[in-house]
């Protein structure tokens, strides 16, 4: 199969040879392969400056990440059989890892499908396509997914800021079937009601699965505060596992309504309190009123979405952790997490160290977590290793 050629500048092939999959626009030899000759979504054969072929990529000449490698094989056709092989491989891994169909089926580059995320909610698939290159193959993807999984519904969740960067429509598409009025999933033997159509991202966050189970085991008999609770994925399992009481705080009324319904479903509603509030304001008021909690989960959305936002985002994480420690009971548990790729594990480590010292508390880590196995980490793409979680035991100073 013959594809148009994209040539890199001298020495700009190093990262690809080390395993990375991205080509940035400033790495392209624009004299040999002018980007303006391509249209968004075109397939290209990527070459180093010496003319050696490195693989087949799709391209968007208007994006900073202008090409994403699909395969290092240079003589294959990117067709339905290609996508079927990749999806089958991704499915095989998940079926080895999970005995029920509730997981992230595809995690972009880690599954060899850059620009694609698929979450499986039983018979319903929630799909995020974030690049023009993958958008070209959405009909093929739907066809293959129908053959492999026979779902009852496939929703394309297009309300993603990355699609704006690729000049793609933000309107969601129900491309197959009908969404049920109420969709149930199961995680760690706890059932939840999720809203795929109107929920954040794909409708649920499977990535903290293992850390949630660990947190729930530590909460028996404790008074728990679940901050940025969304649909109760941390707080409800804690209640099911024997927490004395759980307070879920979130700014979204619809998210708290889902959490409340899931609490009813799991018969723990009498232990639960749901508070609609800005988390910063809630923590300030709790501190002023001298309220304390035995266990606090701090799992905010990404507060640093771009590298240039690092300073402001770092300060927001610092303030949140500082405030949370001030309302944590002596001998309490703080679980602090970040899904911001630009906030490193070392950054969060330092925030916790300095916050504990500032208020004169003794803090130790008794566990740490990352994303679940359905979010596999590509060893050459640090961007895929985004989630970090610290389990902290906090007491008065020694």
Catalytic residue IDs: 339
Q: Give the up-direction half-sphere exposure of residue 313: CA atoms within 13 A in the CB hemisphere.
A: 20
Cα–Cα dist 232/193, whole Å: 10
- Please, are residues 305 and 339 in contact by the beta-carbon 8 Å criterion? no
| Entry field: residues in the chain | 398
Q: Which two tokens stand for residue 64?
A: 């900073």
* Cα–Cα nearest to 393, from 296, 292, 317: 296
Give the helix ranges, DSSP H, for the chain.
Answer: 14-17, 80-97, 132-135, 138-149, 161-165, 209-217, 235-240, 253-265, 279-288, 310-326, 345-358
Three-class SS state of 185: strand
The sign of the dihedral angle between the CA atoms of 234, 209, 172, 151 is negative
Beta strands across the sheet bearing 153-156: 102-107, 116-121, 124-129, 153-156, 173-177
């Amino acid at each position: 199969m013959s594809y148009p050629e994209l040539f890199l500048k001298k020495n700009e092939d190093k990262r690809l040879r080390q395993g990375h999959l991205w080509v940035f626009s400033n790495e392209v030899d624009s004299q040999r392969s002018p980007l303006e000759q391509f249209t968004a979504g075109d397939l290209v054969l990527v070459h180093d400056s010496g003319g050696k072929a490195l693989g087949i990529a799709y391209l968007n000449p208007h994006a900073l990440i202008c090409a994403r490698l699909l395969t290092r094989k240079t003589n294959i056709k990117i067709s339905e059989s290609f996508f079927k092989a990749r999806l089958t491989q991704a499915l095989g891994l998940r079926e080895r890892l999970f005995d029920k169909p509730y997981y992230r089926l595809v995690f972009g580059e880690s599954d060899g499908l850059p620009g694609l995320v698929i979450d499986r909610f039983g018979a319903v698939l929630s799909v995020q396509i974030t690049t023009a290159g993958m958008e070209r193959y959405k009909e093929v993807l739907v066809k293959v997914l129908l053959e492999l999984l026979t779902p009852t519904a496939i929703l394309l969740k297009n309300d993603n800021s990355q699609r704006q960067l690729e000049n793609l429509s933000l309107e969601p598409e129900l491309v197959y079937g009908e969404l049920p009025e109420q969709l149930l999933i199961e995680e760690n033997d706890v059932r939840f009601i999720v809203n795929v159509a109107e929920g954040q991202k794909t409708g649920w966050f499977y990535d903290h699965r293992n850390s949630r189970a660990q947190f729930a085991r530590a909460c028996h008999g404790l008074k728990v505060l679940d901050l940025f609770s969304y649909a109760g994925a941390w707080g409800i399992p804690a209640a099911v596992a024997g927490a004395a009481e759980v307070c879920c705080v979130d700014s979204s009324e619809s998210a708290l309504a889902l959490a409340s319904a899931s609490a009813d479903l799991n018969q723990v509603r009498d232990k639960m309190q749901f508070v609609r509030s800005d988390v910063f304001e809630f923590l300030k008021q709790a501190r002023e009123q001298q309220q304390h909690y035995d266990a606090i989960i701090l799992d905010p959305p990404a507060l640093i979405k771009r590298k240039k936002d690092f300073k402001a985002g770092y300060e927001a994480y610092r303030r949140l952790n500082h405030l949370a420690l001030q309302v944590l009971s002596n001998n309490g548990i703080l679980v602090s997490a970040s899904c911001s790729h630009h906030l490193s594990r070392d950054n969060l480590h330092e925030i916790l160290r300095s916050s504990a010292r500032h208020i004169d508390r003794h803090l130790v880590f008794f566990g740490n977590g990352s994303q679940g196995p359905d979010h596999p980490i590509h060893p050459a793409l640090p961007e895929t290793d985004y989630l970090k979680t610290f389990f902290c035991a906090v007491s008065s100073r020694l």
